[in-house]
Amino acid sequence: MEKKERRDKAPHVLVLPFPAQGHINPMLQFAKRVASKGLKVTLASLISITKLMYFGDGFVKVEPICDSGATDYKHFLDHGSQMLANFIEKHECDSKGPFSCVVYDSVIPWALDVAKRLGLYGAPFFTQSCAVDAIYYLVHQGQVTTGLVGTPQMVHGVPQLGISDLPSLVSAPDSYPFILESVLNQFSNLENADMVLVNSFEKLEGEVVSWLEGLLRVSTIGPAVPSIDNIINGDENHCSVNLWDPNSHTCMKWLDARPIGSVVYVAFGSLAELEAVQMEELARGLRGTNYYYLWVLRESEEKKLPSKFVKERIEKGLVVSWFPQLEVLAHKAVGCFVTHCAWNSILEALSLGVPMVAMPQWSDQPTNAKYMEEVWSVGLKARVDEKRVVRKEEVEQSIRAVMEGERAQEIKRNACK
């Protein structure tokens, strides 16, 4: 079917995220917003992921991209192009109408090639900030080199960045060469895209957005997080997908019993792995503040905690393996968020007005932390020592500064804007 013929039919948007939680959830929110405008929307992913998504009538239709096989990332990456083509062709006679547009995760640029070959519109969805996207674009264009030893000259609107403020894929390219190749390939065929969607918004990164708009067909559509009403009313599970079993009842009961603004929420996402020495320093720092804390920690990471830490702190702290983050951030008991500064976490905290203490680990997180502290002034970055460890004293001082120090009120006002 030619593109001209598709224009005469009701638009039907296919949304294709990369199958990882940090990529799925923002694209899911985008899909739900598009559907709320009356357009037909189908989200496709691996079978294991689509089984976790349940929506009532009027929401996004969720389907596995392949009925069998395709259960892991490697299969998706190796055979995704053919799987997508088969999926689109299978829906040519769909009662909801054939697809007219593919919105795909920017890290799988082959989706645009498939869309164009089959006569569909195509738009990449960038899940990271405009500033980070701009840095990767400059690297892709050869205007910034990886492994820099000095302070690079960046685009208009991006603050002067030291080597430690750059995405780790740029400052230390040999650490994750495959991932660096993936983020740079995002720009390989953008000249063929009908639009470029970014999960940010102009008020947050106005100057960088303007710079990108001069180069690409950029449209900011963020923040792609559930509506505040859904979060506060406890409907967050219907707004996102969790690839781990949350401990909702235990956490909410514990939070409900704590005073307003008295809890430090600690979470480093689904991928970060802290060294044992860093886990111990963080645990000791939390203990030293004497605040209540809720620490979301994967079971594989919990073994790095100091001996008896969990049992000793049971009155002041709660350590759980997973919990829907938005529900925690929306709770009145939470006073600050100790975070690795992944982009989704930044947007969620900003959307809910929660001040942050940054402990960035890798990827885009150092750049996000720089913005969080120096551009938006919604938190503080905890400083590392010569061994790249945030020590107990720094953890304690940073949390106290955000919760009760001289800058606390300013930070909280900025976070709530």
Q: DSSP strand E in 21-72: where?
A: 40-45, 61-64
Q: Does domain 238-411 have CATH number 3.90.1150.10?
A: no
Strands of the sheet containing 121-126, edge to edge, are 61-64, 40-45, 12-16, 101-105, 121-126, 196-198, 218-220
CB 215 within 8 A of CB 190: no
Answer yes or no: same fold for 3-220 and 238-411.
yes
How far from chain centre, in Å, is Cα 363? 12
Reported as a single tens digit per residue, the pLDDT across 314-335 is 678 898 888 888 889 999 999 9
Tell me the chain's radius of gyration from C-alpha atoms.
22
Q: What is the pLDDT of residue 235?
A: 45
Identify the pLDDT of residue 55.
54
Under 8 Å CB-to-CB from 270, ≥6 apart: which residues? Answer: 21, 22, 243, 244, 298
Tokens of 195: 């639009």
Q: Block means of pLDDT (10 residues each) for the chain, length 417 residues?
A: 55 93 91 91 85 64 76 72 93 82 97 97 97 92 73 67 89 88 95 97 93 94 76 47 61 92 93 90 94 91 82 78 88 96 96 95 95 94 96 97 84 74
Handedness of CA 246, 247, 252, 258 (dihedral sign): negative
Structure tokens of 207? Answer: 């100057």
- Which residue among 12, 91, 105, 340 is the active-site one? 105
DSSP 270: T
Look at the block and give the residue holding tokens 């990886």: 146
Give Cβ neighbours of residue 161 (< 8 Å, ≥ 6 apart).
Answer: 151, 152, 154, 367, 370
pLDDT value for 8? 54
Domain boundaries, the chain: 3-220, 238-411
Residue 23: active-site member = yes
* Span 3-220 CATH architecture: 3-Layer(aba) Sandwich (3.40)
- State how far the Cα of 131 lies from the Cα of 371, in Å rounded to an integer: 9
**C-alpha to C-alpha distance for 107 and 363, rounded to whole angstroms:** 14
Residue 12 bears catalytic tag: no
Query: Tens digits of per-residue pLDDT, 331-367?
Result: 999 999 999 999 999 999 999 999 999 999 999 999 9
Burial of 121 (0-12, 13-18, 19+ CB in 10 A): buried
